[in-house]
A and B are shown apart, each in its own frame.
Chain A
Amino acid sequence: MAKKKHRKPKRSRDAASLTPGQWWERAAAVVLCCVTFPLLWVGGLVTTTKSGMAVPDWPGTYGYNLLLYPWTTWLAGPWDLFIEHGHRLLATLAGLLTIGLLVLVLRFDDRRWMRVVAAAALVGVVLQGVLGGLRVLLDERLLAMVHGSVGPLFFALTAAIVVWTSATWRLARPAAVAICLQRAVPLGLVTTLLVFVQLVLGATIRQMPVTASPQTFAVAVKAHLFMAVIVAAACWFLAMRLLARGVPKPVRVFGVAAAVMVFLQISLGVFTWLSKYGVPRFAVAYIGTGDAATLADGWWQNHIVTAHQATGSALLAVILVGTLLAWRFAPTMTATDSATARNLPPTGVATA
């Protein structure tokens, strides 16, 4: 007779290892990160649907205090008003959560650098809000572009805070066999920078003023395509390092995520062009064209374009967190390790 297997009820690593105060700190970080992503998505929708000026005043909404604007008008009003006011409400929530996180970190986290990070997050979210407000008051596309580029940075910071407040981070010990992680760190930093540059290029295209010349736009698009190839290659190599033998599971997860997301992002880029401008002439011979024109501002168009922007931000966060974890788990580099990692004989060893 087969014995019944008794499984111990699982407790999360965090719950087991964190003090109640640290648990609340981490919970706040997770909630902030989870609120920031939809905030980025709705912010992307504001750009996609060109709703940025649907509410012409700031910080109020049509003369009302932001929080007191009649919800029935918000929900039943025009679509662009719904998106823009919703973006402001979500941003307010993100701001309040950041304040809460700072309070919890100051109260329960004894790491000095973590307190600085939480304070920096608050400064960041306030500056981002002011940038968004000035973009509306001045109706200025350049500010919109800066606003659109700072958003992903803030999201990446919230994702990093989630990791920094986790038990995985606090209890991590270098994995002696994962020497490749030592070289993953500089590659990860470079990839993070490349992804951010690519996001800025994307924001430039999205926020190109209507007075810009066609030549300027064409250069921006070609640079974005060129960078896509570079970023894809960098992400792929980074993913390979994060998935190497001996790498701890928390790091491997981000290796898989980087590979999947870069593929998803390139696919979304292709569909973004198709949904906005249709099939390019050079591709018509291969894939043909539909019998109907593309639908401007349709549900699919709006969400594919926005998803391309939001996935870019998510990719930035994944690469940054993967790099941070690689650094955390990387063993201390010795001369022998360094040579092994580069496939070179260590100093003083004669070659055959």
Chain B
Amino acid sequence: MRTDANAGYVVLSMLVLIASGCTQAPPEFEPSLLVVTEADMVDEHREQIQSALVDWFGTPDEPKAPKSPTTFQLDQELLAMAAGPAGYVDRGDGEYLQRGLYRQHCASCHGITGNGMGPAAAMLAPYPRDFRPGVFKFKSTYRAAKPTDDDVRRVIKHGVPGTAMPSFSLLDDKQIDALVEYIKYLAIRGQVERELVAHLADEFDFDPLANTTDQPFDPDNDKEDRELVDYLVAKVSRPWGYGNVQVVQPDPEFVPSENRSAAEVVKSVAAGRELFVSTRAKCTDCHGLPGSAVIAKDYDDWDEAVVNFLRKTDALVASIERREQQIAGLNEAQRERGQQQLAHDKRRLQKRKQVAWRLLEPRPDPPRNLSNGVFHGGDELIDLFRRVHQGVAGTPMPAHGSPRSNVPGSLSEGEIWQLVDYLRSQRQARSL
């Protein structure tokens, strides 16, 4: 009997030990490895930037809406609802608040940091969006402008057909609003991080060879540094408040009437086809002639950054090999300096290789196969109009309309509507 009791204690102790040993630290935002490594930043600055970001933006479990001097302000209550581990928290008055929506629904693909590097990312094509550059593909606004809340809401609600991005239409409006707010938060945080890295790399003194700096970045105690962060937060946040005034509004004069006759539609489709194959619109350069295969030759901005990083890493390897061969022929002083530089470059190379291993393999961005009739950004007439008009931000799909109000584009609005008619006719031909 005594032995049985002892065995019970042993099993219970083992369970408690296993359980306590399993406990993980709460997740943290990852630094933007590619950007920091490209900037050849010293470790001290890198850590100081991360510390400043925690002060201004909080952590994945306790996010903070940064105080911006502009009119734009993130909603702290919605952020709390989207952040943290999935579940409910006791509000203290017997009511429980939902939280963790982002981790529950988004993080497995987009990652905790919103860097598009969630666990499932490598298995998906296209890769999940990296929110940190603040660039969004499917939106109603001008190419360089931020999306409106409705644009982000719509992608969450309807998903992106033809990709792994599902529709979250079963979530209620408030839950979707919380996710929209959190995505904006991640985008703003990511952009502020990039701006800080760029600023410190350009303006601060540091010695990359010795990995030291005599100019620490200390916004806690240094007023100038604090003002710098405030300025960058305001600079990055402000455009998010302009979304609604940046929406591309078609000129009513050219919008096709709903009461067009069949002959008018046929004429418009024929004109659109002519434009499609013309050298003015250059559609066939990527999408191929009607019925032929698409030509994937370019990368989107996210993958292009990786391609450039890998090319530079290869160039550094070649440079190190070449200098190692040449160093024997140098005089003593040159050799000493050369060896110092080589040692530094080898450390850089080591870091770059570590980062390269963690990046997703870049893939060319295939242009939409128009013959299969699936339009990622929506298939309403106005969606296609805006896609042709402003292109797809962050991808090789260029804008054909005016880049901003009152500036002519390469195609007139009337011509863009003809192209839209042609694209829609391709879809209808498929469904017949």
Give the interface of A toward B (CB within 8 A). 50, 52-54, 56, 62, 127, 130-131, 134, 138-143, 208-218, 221, 276-278, 280-281, 284, 288-298
Contacts and interface: CB of A to CB of B under 8 A. Distances in A.
B119 A292 contact: no
Nearest to A295: B167
A79 B121 CA distance: 28
A214 B119 CA distance: 4
Contact of A208 (B119, B125, B160): B119
B117 A134 contact: no
A165 B120 CA distance: 45
Given A140-B22, A214-B121, A217-B119, A291 B161 contact: yes
A141 B158 CA distance: 29
A289 B27 contact: no
B129 to A, nearest CB: 14
B356 to A, nearest CB: 12
18 contacts: A50-B104, A53-B88, A56-B87, A127-B11, A140-B23, A143-B22, A208-B108, A210-B107, A210-B118, A213-B358, A214-B120, A214-B360, A277-B123, A290-B374, A292-B158, A293-B161, A293-B163, A296-B105
A50 B166 contact: no
Given A53-B100, A212-B119, A214-B118, 14 more contacts: A54-B87, A140-B19, A210-B118, A211-B24, A213-B117, A214-B121, A217-B119, A217-B120, A291-B161, A293-B166, A294-B159, A294-B164, A295-B159, A297-B168
Interface in B91-105: 96, 100, 103-105
Contacts, number: 132
B86 interface: yes
Given A278-B163, A293-B161, A293-B163, A139 B85 contact: yes
A62 B88 CA distance: 10
B228 to A, nearest CB: 30
A293 B86 contact: no
A143 B103 contact: no
Nearest to B27: A211
Interface of chain A, main secondary structure: loop
Contact of A217 (B88, B122, B125): B122
Contact of A131 (B15, B111, B122): B15
Contacts of A290: 161, 374
Interface in B128-164: 158-164
A288 B164 CA distance: 14
B279 to A, nearest CB: 29
List the 3 closest A-B pairs by CB distance, nearest first. A293-B159, A53-B87, A214-B122
A54 B118 CA distance: 23
B103 A296 contact: no
B124 interface: yes
A277 B15 contact: no
Contacts of B27: 210-211
A217 B100 CA distance: 21
B373 interface: yes
Most buried by A among B100, B112, B122, B372: B122
A277 B124 CA distance: 8
Contact of B170 (A210, A278, A298): A298
Given A210-B111, A288-B372, A289-B161, A54 B88 contact: yes
A102 to B, nearest CB: 15
Contacts of A141: 24
A177 to B, nearest CB: 46
A304 B122 CA distance: 23
Nearest to A49: B104
B381 to A, nearest CB: 16
B165 interface: yes
A131 B372 CA distance: 49
Contacts of B124: 277
Nearest to B104: A50
Nearest to B98: A78
A130 B8 CA distance: 13
A289 B374 contact: yes
Contacts of B326: none
B92 to A, nearest CB: 13
B428 interface: no
Most buried by A among B22, B96, B165, B373: B22
A139 B123 CA distance: 26
Nearest to B28: A211
B167 A143 contact: no
Contacts of A209: 24, 119
B112 A289 contact: no
A293 B120 contact: no
Contacts of B18: 143
A17 B24 CA distance: 55
A130 B112 contact: no
Contact of A210 (B15, B19, B108, B163): B108
A250 B26 CA distance: 52
